[in-house]
Chain A
Amino acid sequence: MYKKGIGKLSAHVLLFLFSLSILGALSGCVPHTELNEKAIILAIGVDYKEEKYKVIFQYYNPTGIGGRTLVDNSQPNVLTSKGEGDNVYAALEDAAFRCGREMMLGVTQFIVIGKEAAEHSVEKVMDFTKSFFQSHPDMLVTVAEEEAEKVLEVKFSEGIVSTQKLKFLLTNAEKSGIVALPNALELFTSLQTVRQSSALPRLRLLDSTQSDASEDGKTLEISGGVLISEGKAVDEVDIEVMSGLRILSCKTETGTVTVDYKDEKISVGLVNIKTTIKPSFENDQLVFTVDLRSGGRFLSPPKGRYENENDELEKLCGDAVIKRMESAVKQTVFKYGADPFLLEKTIRHYDYNLWKKVEKNFGEYLKNAKFKFSSHIEIDKLLLSE
């Protein structure tokens, strides 16, 4: 039988305990941090000098809002803080201590790694995110041509170089087929492969007199990329190589190619790019058959009519893309035995026995590998006859 007295008593005790915990949770009686006590970090720059990590982070300044407009122009809405330590985590803590706020990495969108830090170890730089699971796996990672600190300190009219500006720079580059969006998750994944290779976009700081330049006459551009092999930066590569790598990574769908044809520079936009790479093993050599298929649309319409010569134009476009891919392979795979477009994954997927055969000396096999390229680009004929 149900004894109401005792049942009610227990219910009241439980209700009391529950209410007490709710009160504690919702009131200010528990340790908590107000918004203006937090350093809501938007971007992080990491440098490595004299065996110490130096960190600069941009954080959101809540006092920069609250005026008549959403953002009070009289106050900078983004501030920076610097710190140093034996590892990136310690340096971040030092920077947080110096600005007197508590770190919050939940909205961090950008990490800029200084040249020396990247050459020392990209893996060690990224290690700190393992202690901060609140950081988003989609945040973008780039390498500065010199020091990361300089990149994050450029002052544009809207404040210090905004994360949005850096993001737009990379997004536009991605749309034009120059670089792949370098998100942290892909970098983590690459660092787990045998060759620990990747290619990150390289940011260059330039003097500029243009209207979009910063207050101190600086502007930022993507000057190419940095090749990561065995977990650290080993070389700088140009835009052509980055573009080739992007196509070889089989993830791109759009791109642009410009060819010389009958004294004209004709630009063709590539759409629905599909790249397939198939591995095989011939004469103790890895052989990769790369096939590119894509649609094409004229971006700069040709002056003459070339309906009958479409095949030739398509071949020219295909050759231009193949040249990019060849250049990418030469600069990365052949030169360093690097694997920035994850050939390991391709070999595992198509021929696991072959992977077991080459796994131990994969770097050497890559250096001596052979690539066979082919392309099939079909330019949209409707756009030719205006």
Chain B
Amino acid sequence: MTTLTAPTPRVRLARFRDLTLVPVILLLLVVGAFLDPTFLTTGNLTNVLQQQAAISLVVLAEAMILISGKFDLSLESTVGMAPAIAVMLVVPASAGGFGLGLPGMLVIPLCLLVGAAIGAFNGFLIIKFQLSAFIVTLAMLIIVHGLQLGPTEGKTLFQLPDSILYLGSAIWLGLPASIWIAAVLFAAGIAGLAYFRVGRSLYAIGGNADAARAAGIRVDRVLWGVFILGGMLAALAGILETGRLGAIGSNQGVGWIFMVFAAAVIGGVSMDGGKGTILGALTGVLVIGLVQNLLTLKGVSGFWQPVVYGAIILVALMISRIAGGKAQD
């Protein structure tokens, strides 16, 4: 099940480093099967994948940004704001929109455009203006969320065009469409970062930007592209989440960034840049999804869930440290 959303890479010893969480996933599957008979059913595991599809795209975006040595906290706000603004541009004023009367089929392109614009603006401030990525995107996290709260006046958008609901709720070939979308994008990410020049250059830039520049890589252009792509992936995550939930609440995406970083880091992506793989980040998302699912199935008390949950992330981190053999940074 764990390889469902990613093609198995060719077996090479160096590659095993990305798979240090695989034992953790296997352990979770075995323990889960004993704890609850529902856990290891196709239906339940499909649900887990569907529930994690949206956040996994943000993890994919964050992993690429981290690998290239930068940081983006604002992705979580884009998850809520991009679809909200796109929907408001399309729906009539009576449904909480701006009343511009744009056709409903434009909502997805508009949403991706908003995401790209946020990414481009982040990129401008960080690359051209040379500001600290951490603080810039922290400020953007606040601003972007505010840009959702302001126009919507904090209200939930209930009346949505069908086109934005489709991707998050459709079933393709027996599996939710969101799983297919995440699978394809992860496959592209894994292949892109492993075998293509642009993808490889992210590692070079994350490892040493000056050396990369000296080697002839267009560092600024690549980084800017990564931020724009990140914003678009976050917007797409917002579309999938909107389809799954059937409405855009004012706190959609809020608080995700902690889970995103947890998933990326336990999956072996370094916060300092230059290290980690997309496949590793994917295993990180799966671990988090399986743990959440188990906690719900077992009905762990709401007062104690955060403790259990945090502890399991720590344990996963330790296991990946031991299995990976190398010191984490």
Q: Is B a genuine binding partner of A?
A: no
